[in-house]
Homo-oligomer: A and B are copies of this chain.
Amino acid sequence: MAAAELHHPDADRIDLTEVLAALGHPVRMEIVRTLAGAPTEFSCALVAQGLPRSTVTHHLRTLREAGVIRQSPAGRKLHLVLRRQDLERRFPGLLSLVTGEFAAPEPAVGPAP
């Protein structure tokens, strides 16, 4: 896939339903949480390791076309970054809900042993 072909929707055209559908898959959720915890741009080769690259490519395209991530060429690789500001402006709180749950999972409910 040539970098020139990579389409990213404008921030104002990011659709909530598409974003939720993109996030609503365990692999894509894992990718988003990985990127949320990454200090800088991240290489495509480092997400969802252990899955076939064609599968990873599919999930990254779904996230990119929904407006959740940007993919930008970096030499022969693609770098990934979360579109934090765009998502926060359009859907305040969504990203922190998704990534915050990861950081602080709901405690188990039930009687003490």
Q: Is A97 in contact with chain B by the CB < 8 A criterion?
A: yes
Q: Are B12 and A29 in contact (CB under 8 A)?
A: no
Fill in one digit per residue for A2-41: 1 if any B CB lies within 8 Å of its CB, else 0. Answer: 0000000000100011111111111001000000000000
Q: Is A94 in contact with chain B by the CB < 8 A criterion?
A: yes
Of the listed stretches A53-61, A71-79, A85-93, chain B binds A85-93
- Interface residue count on the A side (C-beta < 8 Å): 24
> Which residues does chain B contribute within 8 Å of A29, judged by CB atoms?
16-17, 20
Q: Is A98 in contact with chain B by the CB < 8 A criterion?
A: yes
> Which residues does chain B contribute within 8 Å of A19, judged by CB atoms?
24
Cα separation A38 to B93 with both chains bound (whole Å): 25
Q: Are A97 and B92 in contact (CB under 8 A)?
A: yes
Q: Is A51 in contact with chain B by the CB < 8 A criterion?
A: no
